[in-house]
Amino acid sequence: MAFERISFKWAPTAVAERAAGSLISRYGDRAAEDADVIVALGGDGFMLSMLHQHLHKGIPIYGMNKGTIGFLMNEFQEEDLYDRINAATLAQIHPLRMVAEPESGGAQEALAINEVSLLRQTRQAAKLRISIDDRVRMEELICDGLLLSTPAGSTAYNLSAHGPILPLRAGVLALTPISAFRPRRWRGALLPKEAKVTFDVRELYKRPVSAVADTFEVRHVKRVTVSEAKDVTMRLLFDAEHSLEERILNEQFVP
């Protein structure tokens, strides 16, 4: 399809607002529900918020960097925007679905584009049991926390925690510990993207744990289940010479 009707969204910063004003004067602006594509101006955090806001609308998002790192963004330039968008490469990504059960009862669900993280809430290290497809794989992990990351999110928190960078087409998720104490030398695992991963919190009153899906947090959890949300598809557009797949591959060769 041809992308002709653009809806501009921008981060709440002066630099992003100025860029949006200049682009709108040149290309016009549509409401998101009446647009073919959303152009997001900001950094990676703003792109994540846009993806979450428009997850169920199926509208593609083309980001231009007016933030800091901009891993999920294209280079900002005002000229030839229609040509750039229509020549862009489409990346389709399924987020993770987190179902977190707090000790008070019930369950809360959220979607994660980057990662689901379990984090200790106090000075006490967390104790976690890890099950994959209902089979216990690690009876007890003592750690500061644990991440289950998508390929798209593998260069974010996961990489900072010394987890592996995952190519988009690898079909795997990265399970990465944060400051593992026991087993001391455990560095994590690669899991099939179809896996259902369950984390049970041991000694949950003595060692409380929170669960976070990107920015959505549930505190004092007793069990967290994570699986791929196959019914939800995100559509991101990248300049052909700097596709998301290419960026992830490049990250593996940065000295």
| Calpha distance 8→6 (Å, rounded) | 6
Residues 174 and 144 in one domain: yes
Residues 173 and 109 in one domain: yes
DSSP 182: B
Residues 80 and 100 in one domain: no
Determine the pLDDT at residue 248. Answer: 81
Residues 195 and 102 in one domain: yes
Q: Name residues whose C-beta falls within 8 Å of residue 114's C-beta, 6 or more positions apart in sequence.
A: 48, 149, 150, 152, 153, 156, 157, 158, 214
| Calpha distance 122→85 (Å, rounded) | 47
Annotated catalytic residue 44? yes
Determine the pLDDT at residue 18. Answer: 96
| Calpha distance 77→245 (Å, rounded) | 22
* Range of the structural domain that residue 131 is part of: 96-228
Residues 114 and 203 in one domain: yes
Q: Which residues of 45-62 are buried (b: 16+ CB within 10 A; e: fewer)?
A: ebbbbbbbebeeeeebbb
The string of pLDDT tens digits covering residues 91-148 is: 888 999 999 999 999 999 999 999 999 999 999 999 999 999 999 999 999 999 999 9
Residues 244 and 163 in one domain: no
The answer to whether residue 1 sits within a structural domain is no
The answer to whether residue 224 sits within a structural domain is yes
In the sheet with 172-178, reading across from the earlier edge strand, the strands are: 189-192, 172-178, 145-149, 115-120, 209-213, 216-218
Determine the pLDDT at residue 17. Answer: 96
DSSP structure string for 32-86: GGG-SEEEEEE-HHHHHHHHHHTTTT---EEEEE-SSS-TTSBPP--TTHHHHHH
Determine the pLDDT at residue 68. Answer: 81
Point out the residues of the chain with pLDDT beneath 50. none
| Calpha distance 88→66 (Å, rounded) | 19
Residues 142 and 243 in one domain: no
Torsion of CA 9, 11, 12, 16, to 10 degrees: -90
- Looking at 44, 80, 83, 200, which residue is catalytic? 44
135: amino acid identity, one letter: R
Q: What is the CA radius of gyration of the chain?
A: 20
Q: Name residues whose C-beta falls within 8 Å of residue 250's C-beta, 6 or more positions apart in sequence.
A: none
Residues 151 and 119 in one domain: yes
Residues 38 and 123 in one domain: no
Burial of 76 (0-12, 13-18, 19+ CB in 10 A): middle
Looking at the structure of the chain, the number of domains it has is 2
CATH of the domain at 80: 3.40.50.10330
Q: Are strands 234-238 and 61-65 parallel, antiparallel or unpaired?
A: parallel
48: amino acid identity, one letter: L
The answer to whether residue 185 sits within a structural domain is yes
Determine the pLDDT at residue 1. Answer: 59
The answer to whether residue 62 sits within a structural domain is yes
Determine the pLDDT at residue 91. Answer: 87
